[in-house]
Structure 1
Amino acid sequence: MSHPLDLVALTENIKQWGRELGFQQVGICDTDLSPEEPRLQAWLKKQYHGEMAWMARHGMMRARPHELLPGTLRVISVRMNYLPAKAAFATTLKNPRLGYVSRYALGRDYHKVLRQRLKRLGDRIREHCIALNYRPFVDSAPLLERPLAVKAGLGWTGKHSLVLNREAGSWFFLGELLIDVPLPVDAPQPEQCGRCVACLTTCPTGAIVEPYVVDARRCISYLTIELEGAIPEALRPLMGNRIYGCDDCQLICPWNRYGQLTDEDDFSPRRVLHAPELIALFAWSEATFLRVTEGSAIRRIGHFRWLRNIAVAMGNAPWDQAILHALQSRQGENALLDEHITWAITQQLARRRALAVDVQPPQQKRLVRAIEKGLPRDA
């Protein structure tokens, strides 16, 4: 194909167009991820992907972007901040009668937001090329997006396996645009975690089994979102009031003191999901669930898995007669839900016998204190 003669100028234009579309950073890299293949193979061999069969289904294609779109020469990697103002981290986590939803999921489904912007970016580039093949991705194909973002200079891999950036911490979404134009590439950033292991020691379930390696089977995000069956009983007490995802490893990270708040209205918290009461959430009918979660990433787990997660959180809450009645009111609706309701009722009755007042584990109390000290102003 024919390319513009001045690829350097085109690259600068692409980065400017990206910023105009709402991306805080745009980086470019080649498609060689061969160093990631042994790490991916070892991770899959240990079954750390759990029930996420799609992680293994396409083999090493995840590390070979050029196989997804033949002819691909470069990957344009972008990031978009999502941390909302008044995120109410500490308020929600320290009140076990409230349900904690990972902050990325409080607003509109980010997949749709980023993909639309990437499509517009690709169209803009095409206007300046004689011919162009491109394809946008946002968690929508077998692609190692984090190593690509690191290679494109958007940040470095933190010990929690997320991408960290000096100016933004890790509160951002990633997206990719595969193109067949040999643009100049960006330089990676140096790793800057040093000796810090805060994310490893803070993870409620010990899912970060070693620096840079997460056993998804223990991760609360996996348990509440990806896992379709029963949550392992031994892990339920460790989940606290986290009903969709978990942010603990990000909340404790010192680099997130520099996290930037989003100015995207789509990522503003939906009022009903912002520090919601567990009893109120557990009363939702399927129709209410579908209506409230329309356009949200939460909808994909379905009503009964949503209730499953809430039942576990209610089992972890202090003794409350109202919680007990709420749990009993939904018995018999679904076998998977019943298993978790029975467990939660047992926990509530045991707590009543012990007259426990504060059931937050010390680890969660320490996290809340760290949040209150270290988050950006207004977060």
Structure 2
Amino acid sequence: MGMIKGPAIFLAQFAGTDAPFDTLENIAGWAAGLGYKGIQVPCDPRFIDLDRAASSKDYCDELKGLCADKGVEITELSTHIQGQLVAVHPAFAPQFDGFAPEALRGKPLEQAAWAAGECVKAAKASRNMGLDVQVGFSGALAWPYLYPWPQRPAGLVEEAFAELGRRWKPILDAHEDQGVDYAYEIHPGEDLMDGASFERFVDAVDSHARACINYDPSHFVLQQLDYLGFIDLYHDRIKAFHVKDAEFNPTARQGVYSGFETWANRAGRFRSLGDGQVDFAGIFSKLTQYGYDGWAVLEWECAIKSPAQGAAEGAPFIARHIIEPTPHAFDDFAGAGTDRDAVRRMLGITA
């Protein structure tokens, strides 16, 4: 069995213009000071020059050295923003327009091409950094049609996933060239939002070996999905892990579909680690059982608690849950050795 690495923290929710959240050096020192051993770095120009990282191992070594000097290492690069733009339904295009370079605003096809190129650059940068996994989103074309009313025309979902596959297959092939997995965060708002939709996508990319999963149980709590059983089904594809808590408290007024309410007033909402309902003991046990040896990365989002408190509490919480795998069976002390003749006699096999 492998041993989970950590604790680590995803920097996206903390990035800002003021120190210590404004540069990679500053935020790395901040994370180390809280007890984190790793940082998951968004491909944000405040933290990384992706063009240089894709073309220069020396530059990547500089970034790794800078982080090491502060006491942390880079766990994965994140292309959530870029991955989102690979596929955007027109209904959401105005909301995602700000994710793209200014010159591409209002040009969804050009944005998709740019985003695909950025994900490929991040694969090359990951290889230059010695990383085997990149994390991000899939984007979405079918999401506005999630609820089947008005009735969907036959073939709509199939064509949406076929197109998603066409867009991602060349990106995944580029990841194969670099020996890097792309771990999709299974997330409402993306077309890859549960196990069934992930399976559709894997079929659409011809069971591509680099199409993997960034496991985040919080999104499954909000969907009332069996997040422990999910590990049993898809553990061979789970290559990254966001440690994020959530709670679901349905009332007579709202349930799973409560998205018109504010985050604080929803039946399902994200919480800081330990404040929600996620069974992290069960999750860490199952991941360890199946040999997951990647990072446990805090993704902090909470409708109530401050980010400062959430980040401070996250490192010790994760550290407490990491399991050191046992090197032997607990009942080995009672073993009597192996004697084939004795075994055969015990089974009544005398001939």
Question: Would you call these one fold, judging by a TM-score over 0.5?
Answer: no
Q: Relative contact order (C-alpha < 8 Å, sep 6+): which is higher?
A: 1
Please report the TM-score for the alignment, with normalisation by the length of structure 1. 0.23
